[in-house]
Amino acid sequence: MSKIWLITGASSGLGREMAAQLLARGDRVVATARRLDALDDLARQHGENLTVLTMDVTDVVGTRRAMEEAFAEAGRIDVVVSNAAYGLFGAGEELTDEQIEHQIATNLTGSIQVIRAALPHLRSQGGGRIIQISSEGGQIAYPNFSLYHATKWGIEGFIESVAQEVAPFGIDFIIAEPGPTGTSFAANLVRPEPMAVYEDTPAGAVRRAVDSGDFEIKGDAVHTVAAMISAADDKAPALRLTLGSIAYESISKALAGRLETVRSQRDIALSADRDG
């Protein structure tokens, strides 16, 4: 049975690939982008199965307006995909205030507001599913991506809570956590002016690896999106979906290390309780 999907940030990367795969299998897609002409080729191919709306997730009022329009146009939306995001690439000290504010406004606040705008509609129709495109960077961290990680860890925490709040309404979530994947993400990184003092630090090493092409990328965009769609088709998918061998290894290692640390602190933890 075909579904109706809403995908934010659908003009490029995983969002566009998802729109293309869904349309190819006969589903209907409401795609949002900052420029309407960004999806003209898909519109020519798929006609009325694709609706393109303007949405800038940093514009809260505009996001709500576009969500209203999307549900009014489609009648029902089965899956909302919160995908719009980008990477800010620099040591924490190097970043400008404006870059920090825009990264948070897009990746974190923007994703929160997309979800908030969708919830009343999903409730009124009796349920639905939200996919948040996060990253292995919502569970682990690389040097030089501090603000990007802050937004991804932040949105995952938001969803952990909201998922419990809206489960009684038949609304559930998938947090997709791909590792490094072959998209335009790296080419579109926003970079501050580098500081020489970080050249011989882990931040500088990651910068050189990205610039030289030595930063390992194993994820395939087509396979990654296919796995997300497959999970969304499941009756009861897991909250988190790890995608790619790099993500699997890095997240497994990070979680095992955290658990070991917590367990080693058991006596200290219990000592902080009230007496008796």
Cβ(239)–Cβ(175) below 8 Å: yes
Whether 218 is catalytic is no
Report the DSSP pairing between strands 128-133 and 79-82. Answer: parallel
C-alpha–C-alpha distance, residues 188 and 185, integer Å? 5
C-alpha–C-alpha distance, residues 75 and 52, integer Å? 15
Active-site annotation holder among 82, 134, 146, 250:
134
Query: Widest CA span of the chain, in angstroms?
Result: 71
Active-site annotation holder among 146, 148, 198, 250:
148
C-alpha–C-alpha distance, residues 139 and 252, integer Å? 10
Active-site annotation holder among 146, 152, 198, 250:
152
Whether 152 is catalytic is yes
Whether 3 is catalytic is no
Whether 134 is catalytic is yes
C-alpha–C-alpha distance, residues 149 and 107, integer Å? 10
**Radius of gyration, CA atoms only, the chain:** 20
Give the residue numbers annotated as catalytic, written as ranges: 11, 134, 148, 152
